[in-house]
Amino acid sequence: MKISCVQTNPGAILEENIAQLESLISTLKFQENAANVALLPEVFAVMGSDTLRLQSANHLGEGIFRKLSHWAKASKHFLVAGTHAEISEQANKVYNTATVFSPDGALIDVYRKIHLFNLRDPQGQPLYCESDVFAQGKESSVFSIQDGTDSWQCMNIVCYDLRFPEIVRREMNRSGPLDALFITAAFTHQTGKDHWEVLLRARAIENQCFVIACNQTGFHSEGRKRNWGHSLVVDPWGNVIKCLDEEVGVLNVEISIEAIHSARTRLPALQDRVFVN
């Protein structure tokens, strides 16, 4: 499988962010006889106020979601399409929705972020609360990517979900072992420098799967928040195969399902799990 993580620095102007993404996606190289997969960051279309988030929201199949389908088809890639604001049934709230499109532009998976980051001061007053604008998702899911004769079982999680390993294990209990865990994020510089890589490596080791993570980078347009970048790919043994720094750009790497079989043979941790009530 050929992986491309598209690391961007979106601001508050949607048109500029889309132009940056289109430019980067146009550089993707299609590789024959392989599954070509591109991954985008969380909330790639706009980084700004809650008002901007609400104004930019679309229904599935419309607006930005329609554009994502077009990008997948034009590039001939599976597009693990980061997240974008999806109009919800709740007034003044949207879902932070991750979508996946096949190379023919078909929508093959939808995941609405479950864990919302809510930061409060010692007195309980909100400092930054995603739940002010985002409605909480309820369910995880899996999707398949066909790579020649190999079928990869994949799952999407979003940013703060990374800190809650039970979301992955619960899905594995229902759907079976994962081959690739995709993580789309806007992980901050403050926490990223200490937690980003170690959490990603932990998810790869404990689930004996590839972890493919695409993060935003750089300062927000307001200059108050900085993202960590460092999009990377981790193998099932916990080794970082390749990593970007804090530049805007594309990380390209090839991965093989044989590495999963090797890790699980060397260390049969998944089959040795014991479920304790």
Answer whether residue 274 is part of any domain: no
Residues with a catalytic annotation lie at 42, 113, 159
Residue 201: name the closest of 213, 191, 190 by CA.
213
**Cβ count near 153 (within 10 Å):** 17
The reported pLDDT for the residue numbered 106 is 98
Confidence class of residue 223 from pLDDT cuts 50, 70 and 90? low
Which CATH number belongs to the domain containing residue 69 in this structure?
Answer: 3.60.110.10
To the nearest 10 degrees (0 to 180), the angle between helices 166-175 and 197-207 is 30
For residue 136, the enclosing domain spans 2-118+125-266
Answer whether residue 271 is part of any domain: no
The reported pLDDT for the residue numbered 224 is 67
218-221: long-range contacts (C-beta < 8 A, 24 or more apart)? 218/9, 218/246, 218/248, 219/9, 220/11, 220/12, 220/47, 220/48, 221/11, 221/12, 221/13, 221/47, 221/48
Answer whether residue 277 is part of any domain: no
- At residue 267, φ and ψ (nearest 5 deg) are -145, 95
Mean pLDDT of the chain: 95
The reported pLDDT for the residue numbered 120 is 82
Confidence class of residue 141 from pLDDT cuts 50, 70 and 90? very high
For the residues 190-217, what does the mean pLDDT come to?
Answer: 98
Spatial distance between the Cα atoms of 74 and 135, rounded to a whole number of angstroms: 32
pLDDT at 275 over 90: no
The reported pLDDT for the residue numbered 192 is 97
Percentage above 70 pLDDT, the chain: 99
Burial 237-254 (b: 16+ CB within 10 A, else e): ebeebebbebebbbbbbe
The reported pLDDT for the residue numbered 126 is 76
For the residues 194-199, what does the mean pLDDT come to?
Answer: 98
Answer whether residue 166 is part of any domain: yes
Among 2-11, 167-176, 213-222, the range scoring the smallest mean pLDDT is 213-222
Write the pLDDT tens digit of every residue in 151-182: 999 999 999 999 999 999 999 999 999 999 99
The reported pLDDT for the residue numbered 170 is 96
Answer whether residue 262 is part of any domain: yes
The reported pLDDT for the residue numbered 48 is 86
Answer whether residue 43 is part of any domain: yes
For the residues 8-31, what does the mean pLDDT come to?
Answer: 96
For the chain, the domain total comes to: 1
The reported pLDDT for the residue numbered 119 is 86
Spatial distance between the Cα atoms of 50 and 110, rounded to a whole number of angstroms: 22
Answer whether residue 275 is part of any domain: no
Spatial distance between the Cα atoms of 69 and 87, rounded to a whole number of angstroms: 18
pLDDT at 222 over 70: no
Contact of 85 with 112, CB cutoff 8 Å: no
Answer whether residue 237 is part of any domain: yes
